[in-house]
């Protein structure tokens, strides 16, 4: 059997797809590079915004045309699968199976059952679902995702994740450390711990939190960079800052979603912090961790967002000076509190605010990036640059993308790159020496 997995959404979905591929490969199936070569196509989906669902349904439409030409099995996995369940099979009868995040283990049996009729597997489990290294077919030879927790108990008003991923579940510390040591021994120089709210991690056995996990992981010989994403700003304790301070392997880069610079909007979003708390946290982090680069997420047009609220978000960007921004128009989601609020910011206003926000960020980012021109940076080589021209791409400790000229690089190796210029989204350079 030949299979193809297409992934939409976040890094956790990317890591889940690596498990999906690993589980099928462990049973003798072969992964192929395009749906045209596959007997089974699995689409791992994201439900976070209406736009992600639209992209999914247009992709599914293309798969149904492929199925009209030759027999293939089409499966839908991930967050949309978990939320829409049987509705997907009813509304799109060309789908053969629907599998939720707690059911990937059963995929070989599900695929077999689906060859005789539609199959639904979206049962929920409270226990952590463990995957062995044989059940993980990694995409990147350079950086390894390691999911340490799943689900979320925060219930931010706009967010569907607590419904698609369920309540928080934590992976045992011992099993995370076993995997980290295996990865380091296999030559991985970087691991990225993943969780929707990664700083609420607790070892189910000892109760140790993320600071303890960082201490232990950094002791793995060979490992050089450790990252963790995504952190909730309302739950970022001083103990975590101290753990970053004492472990130099923990990269001086954080993804710290702000969502809005207006405390009134943050309150309606049920984020659990005010703008002042966020600003104070950034101050503590920057004092403790010189050179720290921050990236954030912002939603514009949340119900009731006024021009003053939006102006507060622009001001927050000017004050914090993020090195990266993921920005979104508010999109009402099923089951969420904000999905029941009046979506009263007109589309055109959301669009204008998004463009304004992105224009400001582009200016700030270019200013930050210019400071690196002329410096020599340690860069983790990822592979050929998607920009082509025989160039390579890598990332810095601060998580900045660098495109650089080099005769040859090995993905996963560190190289020294002299930065010769920059655009708004990446640095350019050449191999030093």
Please report, as ranges, the residues that interact with ligand SF4 according to CB under 6 A: 152, 154-156, 159, 161-162, 196-197, 232
DSSP 3-state of 404? strand
Residue 249 engages ligand SAM in binding (rule: CB under 6 A): no
Residue 330 partner contact from ligand SAM, ligand SF4, none using kind-dependent CB cut-offs of 5 to 8 Å:
ligand SAM
Strand order in the sheet with 119-121: 30-31, 2-7, 40-45, 73-77, 97-99, 119-121
DSSP string, 159-198: --HHHHT-S-EE--HHHHHHHHHHHHHTT--EEEEE-TTG
Q: Which is nearer to ligand SF4, 57 or 155 (by Cβ)?
A: 155
C-beta of 228: minimal distance to ligand SF4 in Å?
14
| Phi/psi at 13 (5° precision) | -65, -40
Among 8, 97, 158, 228, binds ligand SAM (CB under 6 A): 158
Residue 163 partner contact from ligand SF4, ligand SAM, none using kind-dependent CB cut-offs of 5 to 8 Å:
none
Region for residue 179 given its phi and psi (left: phi exceeds 0; alpha: psi -120 to 50; beta: otherwise): alpha
Q: Which is nearer to ligand SF4, 231 or 426 (by Cβ)?
A: 231
Residue 331 partner contact from ligand SF4, ligand SAM, none using kind-dependent CB cut-offs of 5 to 8 Å:
ligand SAM
Region near ligand SAM per CB under 6 A, out of 60-68, 118-126, 157-165, 286-294: 157-165
Cα–Cα distance between 54 and 245 in angstroms, integer? Answer: 42
Residue 254 engages ligand SAM in binding (rule: CB under 6 A): no
C-beta of 362: minimal distance to ligand SAM in Å?
18
Cα–Cα distance between 325 and 305 in angstroms, integer? Answer: 19
Q: Which is nearer to ligand SAM, 23 or 77 (by Cβ)?
A: 77
Among 60, 88, 161, 251, binds ligand SAM (CB under 6 A): 161
Helix (H) or strand (E) holding 355: helix 347-370
Cα–Cα distance between 169 and 192 in angstroms, integer? Answer: 18
Nearest partner of 347 among 335, 332, 357, judged by Cα: 332
Whether omega before 406 lies within 30 degrees of 0, making that bond cis, reads no
Residue 10 partner contact from ligand SAM, ligand SF4, none using kind-dependent CB cut-offs of 5 to 8 Å:
ligand SAM
Residue 49 partner contact from ligand SAM, ligand SF4, none using kind-dependent CB cut-offs of 5 to 8 Å:
ligand SAM
Tally of CB atoms within 10 A around 130: 11
C-beta of 196: minimal distance to ligand SAM in Å?
4
Report 257-276 residues binding ligand SAM (CB under 6 A): 257, 259
β partners of residue 381? 394
Nearest partner of 332 among 183, 157, 181, 74, judged by Cα: 157
Region near ligand SAM per CB under 6 A, out of 142-150, 156-164, 377-385, 411-419: 156-164
Residue 428 engages ligand SAM in binding (rule: CB under 6 A): no
Cα–Cα distance between 202 and 208 in angstroms, integer? Answer: 5
Residue 15 partner contact from ligand SAM, ligand SF4, none using kind-dependent CB cut-offs of 5 to 8 Å:
none
Cα–Cα distance between 361 and 156 in angstroms, integer? Answer: 25
Site string for ligand SAM, 279-318 (x = CB under 6 A): ------------------x-x-------------------
Q: Which is nearer to ligand SAM, 75 or 78 (by Cβ)?
A: 78
CB-based contacts of 58: which residues, under 8 Å, 6+ apart? Answer: none
Cα–Cα distance between 400 and 291 in angstroms, integer? Answer: 13
Residue 426 partner contact from ligand SAM, ligand SF4, none using kind-dependent CB cut-offs of 5 to 8 Å:
none
Structure-token match 């007997």, residue found = 39
Site string for ligand SAM, 373-392 (x = CB under 6 A): --------------------
C-beta of 326: minimal distance to ligand SF4 in Å?
12
Q: How far is CA 424 from CA 142, 371, 383, 406, 414, in A?
A: 25, 12, 21, 22, 24
Tell me the angle at which helices 307-320 and 347-370 cross, rounded to the nearest 10 degrees. Answer: 10
Region near ligand SAM per CB under 6 A, out of 116-124, 244-252, 330-338, 412-420: 330-338
Say if residues 402 and 393 touch (Cβ distance below 8 Å): yes
Count the residues of the shown chain that bind ligand SAM, applying the rule CB under 6 A: 18
C-beta of 159: minimal distance to ligand SF4 in Å?
3
Site string for ligand SAM, 99-138 (x = CB under 6 A): ----------------------------------------
Give me the residues that bind ligand SAM (CB under 6 A), please: 10, 48-49, 158-159, 161, 196-197, 230, 232, 257, 259, 297, 299, 328, 330-331, 333
């Amino acid at each position: 059997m030949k299979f193809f997995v297409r992934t939409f959404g976040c890094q956790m979905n990317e890591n889940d797809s690596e498990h999906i591929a690993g589980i099928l490969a462990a049973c003798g199936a072969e992964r192929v590079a395009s749906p045209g070569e596959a007997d089974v196509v699995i689409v791992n989906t994201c439900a976070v915004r209406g736009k992600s669902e639209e992209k999914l349904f247009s992709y599914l439409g293309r798969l149904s045309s492929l199925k009209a030409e030759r027999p293939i099995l089409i499966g839908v996995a991930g967050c949309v699968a978990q939320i829409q369940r049987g509705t997907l099979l009813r509304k799109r009868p060309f789908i053969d199976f629907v599998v939720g995040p707690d059911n990937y283990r059963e995929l070989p049996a599900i695929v077999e059952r689906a060859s005789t009729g539609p199959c639904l597997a979206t049962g929920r489990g409270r226990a952590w679902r463990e995957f062995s290294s044989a059940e993980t077919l990694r995409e990147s030879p350079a950086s390894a995702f390691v999911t340490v927790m799943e689900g979320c108990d925060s219930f931010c008003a706009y967010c569907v994740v607590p419904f698609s991923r369920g309540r928080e579940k934590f992976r045992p510390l011992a099993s995370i450390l076993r995997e980290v040591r295996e990865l380091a021994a296999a030559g991985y120089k970087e691991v990225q711990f993943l969780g929707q709210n990664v700083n609420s991690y607790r070892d189910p056995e000892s109760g140790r939190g993320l600071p303890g996990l960082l201490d232990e992981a950094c002791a793995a010989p060979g490992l050089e960079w450790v990252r963790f994403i995504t952190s909730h700003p309302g739950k970022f304790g001083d103990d975590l800052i101290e753990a970053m301070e004492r472990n130099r392997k923990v990269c001086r880069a954080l993804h710290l979603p702000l969502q809005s610079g207006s405390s009134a909007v943050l309150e309606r979003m049920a984020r659990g912090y005010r703008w002042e708390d966020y600003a104070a946290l950034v101050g503590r982090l920057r004092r403790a961790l010189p050179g720290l680069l921050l990236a954030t997420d912002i939603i514009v047009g949340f119900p009731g967002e006024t021009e003053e609220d939006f102006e507060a978000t622009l001001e927050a960007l000017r004050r914090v000076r993020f090195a990266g921004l993921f920005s979104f128009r508010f999109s009402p989601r099923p089951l969420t509190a904000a999905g029941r609020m009046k979506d009263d910011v007109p589309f055109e206003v959301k669009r204008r605010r998004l463009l304004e926000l992105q224009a400001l960020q582009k200016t700030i980012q270019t200013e930050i990036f210019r400071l690196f021109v002329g410096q020599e940076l340690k860069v983790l080589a990822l592979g050929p640059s998607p920009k082509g021209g025989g160039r390579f791409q890598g990332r810095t400790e601060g998580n900045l993308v660098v495109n650089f000229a080099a005769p040859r690089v090995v993905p996963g190796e560190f190289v020294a790159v002299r930065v010769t210029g920059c655009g708004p989204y990446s640095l350019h350079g050449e191999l030093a020496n």
